[in-house]
Amino acid sequence: MLTLTENASTIVRDLSTQPGFPETAGLRITSESASEPAFAVSAAEAAQPGDQVVEQAGATVYLDEGAALMLDDKILDASVDPTGRVEFALGLQA
C-alpha cells in the first residue's frame, strides 16, 4: 500500500483542512491512460466508488483502482517550492 513521508502527510493534511472543505476531504490520485505511467493529483471532498483510502498521520489520500495498483509499493513525498507550489515525488519503499 502507498505510504507517505512526514512531509507529504503534513502537506496533504494542510491542503485538505482548508476552510470550506468537509472533514472527508483529501488528495485524490488517478491514473492517466498513457504509454508511460502518469497520474493526476487533485483535491477531493470524499472518496469515489472503488477508491482505495490511505490514511496516515491525519492525511487522507484517495487512489483510483489503477493508481492503487501502480502505487502499491511506492512512497509519496511532497515539498513546497519557493513560489508556494506543491511538488509531489514518488519513490520505492525500502
- 55: domain CATH number is 2.60.300.12
The string of pLDDT tens digits covering residues 64-90 is 999 999 999 999 999 999 999 999 999
Answer whether 63's CB lies under 8 Å from 69's CB: no
pLDDT value at position 34?
Answer: 67
Q: Which residues of the chain fall short of a pLDDT of 50? A: none
pLDDT value at position 36?
Answer: 74
How many domains does the structure of the chain reveal? 1
pLDDT value at position 80?
Answer: 93
Domain that holds residue 52: 3-92
Rounded to whole angstroms, the Cα distance separating 9 from 69 reads: 20
Cβ count near 3 (within 10 Å): 16
Query: What's the pTM value of the predicted model, to 2 decimals?
Result: 0.91
Q: Which residues contact 44 (CB under 8 A, 6 or more apart)?
A: 25, 26, 27, 28, 62
